[in-house]
């Protein structure tokens, strides 16, 4: 068995084709969609967690590359723009991973990157929009 997160970039010609169902039907993969942004006439981007048999997974990747999908390793980082952060604490109550915490001494908000699960919940609740996602 293999379980792997990857970034898939679709050319606009594939955006209206049923690619995902093919992965399920032909290769028996489980698909977990972590992020998807696909708009007509533009490139689509998906972050997927694929789980299945090792050889079937390899065949699936080969199939995707064959039809023009770019497959890249998943490197997802949430970064904080230190200049914009006002240390208010609006993110602390929303963060499910205890990655954003109040420092008892300084009362500043510490961002513990090692605990971040990249759920992105902090992005829209940050008033100065200091939290950003990088792929």
Footprint of another protein (CB under 8 A): 84, 86-94, 102, 106-108, 124-125, 127-129
CB nearer to another protein: give 21 or 86: 86
Q: Biggest alpha carbon distance in the chain?
A: 57
* Phi, psi of 59, deg, nearest 5: -65, -40
Closest CB to another protein among residues 32, 110? 110
- DSSP letters for 71-131: EEE---EEEE-TTT-----TTTTT-TTS-EEE-TTT-PEEE-GGG-----THHHH-TT--E
CB of 22 to another protein, least distance (A): 31
Residue closer to another protein, measured from CB, 24 or 36: 36
Q: How far is the CB of 102 from another protein (least distance, A)?
A: 7
- For residue 86, the minimal CB distance to another protein (Å) is 5
| Residue 70 or 129 with smaller CB distance to another protein | 129
* Chain centre distance of CA 52: 20
């Amino acid at each position: 068995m293999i379980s792997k997160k990857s970034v898939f970039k679709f050319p606009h010609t594939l955006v209206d084709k049923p690619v995902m169902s093919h992965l399920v039907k032909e290769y028996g993969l489980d698909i977990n969609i972590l992020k998807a942004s696909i708009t007509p006439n533009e490139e689509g981007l998906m972050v997927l967690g694929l789980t299945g048999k090792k050889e079937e997974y390899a065949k699936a990747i080969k199939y995707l590359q064959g039809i023009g999908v770019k497959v890249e390793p998943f490197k997802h980082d949430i970064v904080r723009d230190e200049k914009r952060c006002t240390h208010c604490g609006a993110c602390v109550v929303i963060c499910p991973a205890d990655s954003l915490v109040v420092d008892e001494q300084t009362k500043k908000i510490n961002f513990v990157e090692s605990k971040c699960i990249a759920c992105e919940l902090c992005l829209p609740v940050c008033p100065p929009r200091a939290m950003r996602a990088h792929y």
